[in-house]
Structure 1
C-alpha cells in the first residue's frame, strides 16, 4: 500500500486507534473519510483536521452499511482504501446464559460489520487501478484473553477471513492487509486508557505508520509488542502466554 495519495474510507474512526490512523493518514497526504455514529465528533474531526471528512454510519446495521457505502462511492469515486476499523470489546461470563446478548452484539459489530463493508466495497475496489482492504484483528486472535471470549473469537475469525480474502483477490488490483494490534491505551475497555500493560497510542501509531511506509507489500502489520502473541504457537510459548494474559487481568 502506498502511504500517500489515497482516498481512504475508515468506519470506526472517531476515537482511539481509528481516529489516530485517520489523522496520521491525512497528515501523510491522503483524503480520509471517517465514519462513526457520533455526529458531533464527526463534525469536530472534519472541522479540526484538514483532509478528513465525516459520514454517519452504524456498522451494526446492515442497511446503514449498504447506504453509506453507496454514498461514499458516489461522493468520493476515487476511494481506493477501506479500513474496517469499527469494533467493540466487552467482558463476558460464560457460566450463565446472561452473556448471550453481549456476545451477539460483539459478533454483529466485529464480524458481520467488516464482512458487510467488504461485501459492499469488493467490486468497487477491484475497479480501481490499485486498492487496499485493511482488516483489523488483534493479538487476542492468537492467544485469547479469559475475560473477553467472544471478542477473541471474532478477531480470530477476522484473521482467518483475511487470509482467504487475500488469496481470492490475489489476481485483482486489491491488496489485503491485516492490522494486528496489541493492547493499546484507548477507551476500548474500562481502565485500558491508562493501563501499564497497554501500549501508548502514539507509540503504536508511529510504529504502524513506519511499517506501512517501509513494507508496502506487507500482509500483516505487526508492531513489536504484538509479536509474542502472534508467534506464540510457532515458538511453543502459547500455554505460557495464555497464563500470563489471564494473570495480568
Structure 2
C-alpha cells in the first residue's frame, strides 16, 4: 500500500491502535478521518493533529453506519481507504453460562460492524484506483485465548470473511488487507501497563513498515508465530477451493 496521498477513514480512531494508525498516516500526508462513539476522545485526537477530522459513529448501529457512509461520500468523495479498527474485548465464560449482553455486543461490534461498514462503502471504493479495505483482526484469530473465547471467535470469523472478500474483489482495484496484532499495550483488557505486551508505538512503527509493502497480511514479527499455527499454503488452498467452487456453480 502506498503510504501517502490517500483519504483514509478509520473506525475506533479515538484511542489505542486506531489512534496510533491515524496519527502515523496523518503525518505521512494523508487526509485522515477518524470515528468512534466517545466524542471527547475524538476531540482530543484532532486537537493534537491539526487537519485531521472526526465523525461520531456507533459501529453497533446499522443506521449510524449508513449515515456515516453517506456523510463521508458527500464530504470526502476522494475517500479511497477504509480501516475497520473498532473493537471490544472482555473476558467471558465459555465453560459456563454466557452473558448474552456481552455475547451480542462483542459479535455486533467486532464482526457485524466492520462487515456493515465495508458494505456501506464498497461500491464507492470500487470506483477508485488503488483503494484499500483493511480490517484489524488479532493473532487470536489463529490461536484463541480461552478466557476471551467470544472475542477470539469474532476475530477468527473476521479473518475468514477477509479471505472471502479478498477473493471476490480480486478483479477490482480494491485490495483487502488484514492487520493482525499481537498483544499490544492498549485499553483492551487494561493492557496499557502490561510488561509482556508490545509497546504501542513500536507496534505502530512496525505495522506502518509492513503496510508500505505488497503484503496482504500486516504482521509484525511478534505476530508471525501465531499466524504460522494454521499451517502453510492457506491462501493457495482457499483460492483453489473457491476457483473450483465457482466453476462448479457455473456449470
TM-score norm. by structure 1 comes to: 0.90
Alignment partner, residue 20 of structure 2: 20
Q: Which runs of 5+ in 1 are unaligned?
A: 236-249
Sort the Cα spacing of 1:165 and 1:98 in 2 relative to 1 into closer, same or farther, 3 A: closer
Shift of 1:95: 3.5
1:110-136 superposed Cα distances (whole Å, 9 cap, x missing partner): 000000001101101001122000011
Within the candidate set 222, 239, 246, 1:225 is matched to 222
CA distance in 1, matches of 2:151, 2:115: 16
CA distance in 1, matches of 2:226, 2:217: 14
CA distance in 1, matches of 2:167, 2:220: 23
Alignment partner, residue 249 of structure 2: none
CA distance in 1, matches of 2:14, 2:192: 16
CA distance in 1, matches of 2:189, 2:70: 32
Shift of 1:218: 1.1
CA distance in 1, matches of 2:39, 2:202: 28
SS of the counterpart of 1:78?
Answer: coil
Alignment partner, residue 78 of structure 2: 78
Shift of 1:98: 4.1
> 5 Å matches for 1:75-114?
75-114=75-114
Q: Which runs of 5+ in 2 are unaligned?
A: 233-251
Contact 2:132 2:176 in 1 (8 A): yes
1:168-193 superposed Cα distances (whole Å, 9 cap, x missing partner): 11111101110010010001112x11
CA distance in 2, matches of 1:94, 1:212: 35
Q: What's the RMSD between the two structures over aligned residues?
A: 1.1
| Greater mean deviation of Cα atoms: 113-122 or 226-235 | 226-235
Alignment partner, residue 211 of structure 2: 212
TM-score norm. by structure 2 comes to: 0.90
Q: Deviation above 3 Å: which 4+ runs of structure 1?
A: none
SS of the counterpart of 1:147?
Answer: helix
1:89-114 superposed Cα distances (whole Å, 9 cap, x missing partner): 00001233342221111000000000
CA distance in 2, matches of 1:100, 1:67: 28
CA distance in 1, matches of 2:196, 2:157: 25
Residue correspondences, number: 232
Alignment partner, residue 31 of structure 2: 31
CA distance in 2, matches of 1:154, 1:88: 10
Shift of 1:65: 0.6
CA distance in 1, matches of 2:156, 2:179: 12
SS of the counterpart of 1:134?
Answer: strand
Alignment partner, residue 234 of structure 1: 231
> 5 Å matches for 1:142-157?
142-157=142-157
